[in-house]
Chain A
């Protein structure tokens, strides 16, 4: 298999909040058309790292590239264009509580396809249908269990038809069946050739889906490489994480 071209790159990214350094000189490549997992113990800045890619955060130093765009130097208007191609899905569902599920999805369609509200609504329903979520279309988000809320927020992101999708802990806090359902959708996207970046410390998901794994530890990339290598790496930190051992550096 030939080495795929990177769709996004971070080069020497530093980020601190006050005196708390979260990332120190992190360099990372996101290969096109592959499914990359970012793993690591809680609080190592996984979300912080990927938010740089869509310009929700800006680095203190270093460069962020998306194809030939220098993301860390784009203004807010240009970022809006980028975010249409590269969509970030939050860990919490962040659905708009005052609207129904279908309206949540339709909002995105209406804004980006420039169509009338009624057309947008029917496109949104079609999107929900494709994902097998038609039964939820008229519900209000707060009424739904968290697994279904996450599916809806995934549907909302997919309405943009992104070429790159970033998922922030899509299966955290879900029961195994709901997690499996999310993973099935992710697999489908992978088969469609969407570039995926998934933040997760769900080892099952990693085994099921990952092409590449990036492991963050102590402000830096500890491991980047294939999925097999991740589980078999001869590194005490990775070993502790993969086998959930109590004693160790984490």
Chain B
């Protein structure tokens, strides 16, 4: 019992320390963004590596999410007879909630974990120390361009993903449920979509911030060789997932208050 309490207490303190260092990382990243002195080439390289290469996985995920949501809202429609729900329910869910959060999760795996592993390797092979010894601020050189690239890409990818999600929903209606896809579109048109689209993008930007901050933090605090890198990637994706849903809740809540 005592041991259980002790380990619980240690975990609690560890997480507090982690939250603290995440905040420091976020603050230092923001500070290094002003004045905006980015290395433009580096930024474009990162945008290509991060944004363009994640496109296939994002498109596939979004299509499937659209399909799943249409199939799921069908069960509700059958019980209540509200056919409009196929389009409206699935559309709203994809735009404001599931699109951003699932794309965010996939992006966190594809890009966040990758960034943590990359930075971790640089720490393990003393390349980060070498940067500091060469008087180059690792935050400005390694973290800031990634931050900008991750936030930008995730917002743009969410726009693409939203579209694919809706297309996926329409396709599911047409081929899997034998409902004319126009019914889906009509249901979609009944509701005000713009607000949900915008809140989805706000969420995507916030998730991008979470992913970048968490992955940089875990990557730059790696210790202990190959095992350490594995542990850091694991910790990074777990913390990111938690962060994404907390941010998601906060934004949803604030949105409802307005």
Mark A residues whose CB is within 8 Å of B: 54, 56, 76-77, 79-84, 87-90, 92, 94-96, 107-108, 110-112, 117, 153, 156-157, 160
Measured between beta carbons, the chain A residues less than 8 angstroms from B129 are 56, 90, 94
Distance A83 CA – B126 CA, assembled complex (angstroms): 16
| B137, A94: Cβ atoms closer than 8 Å | no
Instruction: Known A90-B126, A94-B129; judge A83-B135 contact (CB<8 A).
Output: yes
- State which of B41, B126, B127, B132 has its C-beta within 8 Å of the C-beta of A117: B41
| B137, A90: Cβ atoms closer than 8 Å | no
Q: How far is the CB of B179 from chain A (nearest CB, A)?
A: 51
Instruction: Known A111-B141, A117-B41; judge A96-B133 contact (CB<8 A).
Output: no
Q: How far is the CB of B149 from chain A (nearest CB, A)?
A: 16
Measured between beta carbons, the chain A residues less than 8 angstroms from B126 are 90, 92, 94
Distance A217 CA – B66 CA, assembled complex (angstroms): 69
Question: What are 8 A-B contacts with C-beta separation under 8 Å?
Answer: A76-B137, A79-B132, A80-B137, A89-B133, A90-B129, A92-B126, A111-B134, A156-B134
Q: How far is the CB of A168 from chain B (nearest CB, A)?
A: 10
| A81, B135: Cβ atoms closer than 8 Å | yes
Q: How far is the CB of B49 from chain A (nearest CB, A)?
A: 11
Q: How far is the CB of B5 from chain A (nearest CB, A)?
A: 25
Distance A111 CA – B144 CA, assembled complex (angstroms): 14
Measured between beta carbons, the chain B residues less than 8 angstroms from A77 are 137
Distance A44 CA – B39 CA, assembled complex (angstroms): 41
- State which of A76, A82, A83 has its C-beta within 8 Å of the C-beta of B134: A83
Distance A83 CA – B132 CA, assembled complex (angstroms): 8
Q: How far is the CB of B112 from chain A (nearest CB, A)?
A: 19
Distance A107 CA – B134 CA, assembled complex (angstroms): 10
Chain A: CB-nearest residue to B37:
A114
Measured between beta carbons, the chain B residues less than 8 angstroms from A153 are 130
Distance A87 CA – B130 CA, assembled complex (angstroms): 10
Chain A: CB-nearest residue to B133:
A88
Distance A111 CA – B126 CA, assembled complex (angstroms): 19
Distance A94 CA – B132 CA, assembled complex (angstroms): 12
Instruction: Known A94-B126, A94-B127, A117-B41; judge A87-B133 contact (CB<8 A).
Output: yes
Q: Is B60 an interface residue (CB 8 A)?
A: no
Q: How far is the CB of B216 from chain A (nearest CB, A)?
A: 15
- State which of B39, B41, B134, B141 has its C-beta within 8 Å of the C-beta of A87: B134
Measured between beta carbons, the chain B residues less than 8 angstroms from A83 are 132-135
Measured between beta carbons, the chain B residues less than 8 angstroms from A110 are 39
**Segment 190-218 of B: residues with Cβ below 8 Å from A:** none
Instruction: Known A111-B141, A117-B41; judge A94-B135 contact (CB<8 A).
Output: no
Q: Is B125 an interface residue (CB 8 A)?
A: yes
Distance A107 CA – B129 CA, assembled complex (angstroms): 15
